[in-house]
Structure 1
Amino acid sequence: MLMSIPFVYHASYSQLALPSTHRFPTTKYHNLYQHALKHHLLIEQCRHTPMPMTKEALFRVHCPQYVEQFINGTLDHKAQRRIGFPWSTALVTRTLHAVNGTRLCTDLALEHGIAIHLTGGYHHAHYNYGSGFCIFNDLVIAARLAIDSGKIDKVLIFDCDVHQGDGTATLTQGCPDIISCSIHCAQNFPSRKQQSDHDIDLDKGCTDKRYLEHIQQILPYLIRLHQPDLIIYDAGVDIHQHDDLGYFAISNQGILARDKQVISIAKMHNIPLAAVIGGGYSRNEAELTHRHSQLLIAANESW
């Protein structure tokens, strides 16, 4: 088993005090981190800890006024409610570290071929507002900074979260160097879909077989068509049949098979892969950890 997968994690990811009734599973990041170390899916020596993202870097993708208002805690109530979190300094700390964590993950992927971020996938964040637990779009920010650094020319954001990456779609329209692909449930949030470069709308109840056939067809096609220098992969597990916010019928085995497919296809084409764990919602913490751990198992088996 490969024991040297670089990964990104910061303690602030799970240090967000939320009401017990809140849908966002803030404990899952620390739980996954501990599980991965215990079961030797990751090793502590390969952990990389992000610094907070600078405002200047956020300005490359997001409205400066929106950035300032969020950081200073002056967003109006409606804007804060759309995000879905009560504002706090802990939320700002978590957000800035998490967004920079995905940027760090892309750097590590370019250096080592693969890297995993134990949060990320904030694909509902738009230019001047946040939505659906997403404040700043880490996927687009990481892609933009990687390209602007001069290291690479083109990035494919391959989003397999059950919800459409609507913020990613709007932020990358008119950006030929960032290709957005969203494979999602047609009947799920957001109700008003945006136009990605490639949208694959699947119906409620989608099964392992049908889902995996789409992955096997679309990813090699996108690589041939766009020839990206880096793939940023949103490995959301809210596709699971028992996810609280997902409408698909995908099993744990289906999640593992998907992650193996994506990693193997990237490796076969010699394209660096930066993976974020994306969405996953369940009151059962052990079950949720098990679902997210499929990505780590796949990385160890496939890379």
Structure 2
Amino acid sequence: MRLPIVHHPAFDARFDAKHRFPMSKFSRLAEILVEDRLVGANGFAVPDPAPEGWLCLAHSRTYVEAVLAAAVPRATERAIGFPVDERVALRSRTATGGTVLAARLALRHGLACNTAGGSHHASRTGGAGFSVFNDVAVAASVLLAEGEVGRVLVFDCDVHQGDGTALIFAGTPRVFTLSIHAAKNYPDVKPPSDLDIALPDGTGDADYLAVLRDALERGFAEARPDLVFFNAGVDPHAADRLGRLALSDEGLAERDRRVIGFFRERNVPVAGVIGGGYSTDIEVLSRRHTILHRVATEFV
């Protein structure tokens, strides 16, 4: 079996190359996966855009309707970091549909990965931090509502705390939110996840992996999940523009290997999303994001 990988051309909303958000990485990431033959003969699994009903499971109807109409208030657009036009709205719906599809494929095959996703700063009432819709929160809510899973663990290794996810699932016993992040990074106000592990600036591979071991054990014991959403953000890398940690490519690969391996050894399905990663060198950044998919192929 080949690793199921989800992609859609709409993941790339075609921003100007000088924009702070490196939108073109989504297209280049997919190209690299094809070039390096990590995609099977049948190609990518292609998602449909998430329908309004799905989005409203994790976001207010007022906010969802504003996004779909490309009528998001300016203050919210400033919090997100870019205007929400029709192309961005489609991109956000499609990336969310991609995470739902990756989750369904993970339940079927044990493991699947999106080539987008991890927009964890969007809360119920609005977007923030380059996040329009919280794709993982929507996907978890869809699967719970449909009875496909009973309990979910969100295992978030992006360098920024998953504040939107924490807010959406606060007081929701069937979803356990876990975030390993840089203590002094965005967001300034960090609403509590079920388990937050805040790391000091400059944390490198060895110290990070030591913390990861305990986080895996605690998260599994407390969540007892039927499905894990793994946010494999590469912004903990030492060279990341918006990170404050100091992992290497090898450290990121070992992180992903330990997370995926831990849950697959326990027969828990894993849906991987790529999370954050920021660099002006799109080639290097896109290849760094493929670490998730390369490591995941070791487990299929």
Q: Same fold (TM over 0.5)?
A: yes
In 1, Cα distance between equivalents of 2:125 and 2:133? 9
Cα offset, 1:46, TM superposition: 4.8
Identify the residue that residue 99 of structure 1 maps to in structure 2: 96
Structure 1 counterpart SS, 2:153:
strand
Cα offset, 1:226, TM superposition: 2.2
Structure 1 counterpart SS, 2:129:
coil
Query: Is the Cα contact below 8 Å between 1:58 and 1:141 reproduced in 2?
Result: yes
Identify the residue that residue 177 of structure 1 maps to in structure 2: 174
In 1, Cα distance between equivalents of 2:234 and 2:164? 19
Identify the residue that residue 301 of structure 1 maps to in structure 2: 298
2:4 to 6, 10, 17: 6
For 1:169, give the aligned amino acid. A
For 1:122, give the aligned amino acid. S
> What is the root-mean-square deviation of aligned Cα atoms in Å?
1.1
In 1, Cα distance between equivalents of 2:114 and 2:14? 22
Cα distance change on mapping 1:48 and 1:251 into 2, 3 Å: same
For 1:7, give the aligned amino acid. I
Structure 2 counterpart SS, 1:40:
coil
- Structure 1 residue 112 corresponds to structure 2 residue 105: no
Cα offset, 1:44, TM superposition: 4.7
In 1, Cα distance between equivalents of 2:224 and 2:85? 41
- Structure 1 residue 28 corresponds to structure 2 residue 25: yes
Cα offset, 1:19, TM superposition: 3.3
Please give the residue correspondences for 1:93-242 in structure 2 after superposition, counting only pairs within 5 Å: 93-242=90-239
Cα offset, 1:151, TM superposition: 1.6
In 1, Cα distance between equivalents of 2:270 and 2:14? 32
Cα offset, 1:20, TM superposition: 3.5
- Structure 1 residue 61 corresponds to structure 2 residue 54: no
Identify the residue that residue 286 of structure 1 maps to in structure 2: 283
For 1:13, give the aligned amino acid. F
Identify the residue that residue 74 of structure 1 maps to in structure 2: 71
In 1, Cα distance between equivalents of 2:222 and 2:91? 36
Query: Is the Cα contact below 8 Å between 1:119 and 1:278 reproduced in 2?
Result: yes
Cα offset, 1:47, TM superposition: 1.6
The alignment's TM-score, normalised by the length of structure 2, stands at 0.97
Give structure 1 stretches of 5+ with no counterpart. none
Query: Is the Cα contact below 8 Å between 1:4 and 1:46 reproduced in 2?
Result: no
Cα distance change on mapping 1:301 and 1:226 into 2, 3 Å: same
Deviation string 1:61-92 (CA, Å, 9 cap, x unpaired) is 11101111111122221111111112221111
Identify the residue that residue 89 of structure 1 maps to in structure 2: 86
Structure 2 counterpart SS, 1:45:
coil
Structure 2 counterpart SS, 1:134:
coil
Cα offset, 1:131, TM superposition: 0.1
Give structure 2 stretches of 5+ with no counterpart. none
Question: 146-155 vs 16-25, which deviates more?
Answer: 16-25
Deviation string 1:86-105 (CA, Å, 9 cap, x unpaired) is 22211111111111110111
Structure 1 counterpart SS, 2:230:
strand
Query: Is the Cα contact below 8 Å between 2:122 and 2:165 reproduced in 1?
Result: yes
Cα offset, 1:9, TM superposition: 0.4
Identify the residue that residue 240 of structure 2 maps to in structure 1: 243
Cα offset, 1:30, TM superposition: 1.1
In 2, Cα distance between equivalents of 1:66 and 1:93? 15
Cα offset, 1:21, TM superposition: 2.7
Identify the residue that residue 39 of structure 2 maps to in structure 1: 42
Query: Is the Cα contact below 8 Å between 1:5 and 1:46 reproduced in 2?
Result: no
In 2, Cα distance between equivalents of 1:46 and 1:261? 27
Cα offset, 1:52, TM superposition: 1.1
For 2:282, give the aligned amino acid. E
Question: 204-213 vs 41-50, which deviates more?
Answer: 41-50
Structure 2 counterpart SS, 1:107:
helix
In 1, Cα distance between equivalents of 2:137 and 2:8? 20
Query: Is the Cα contact below 8 Å between 1:160 and 1:183 reproduced in 2?
Result: yes
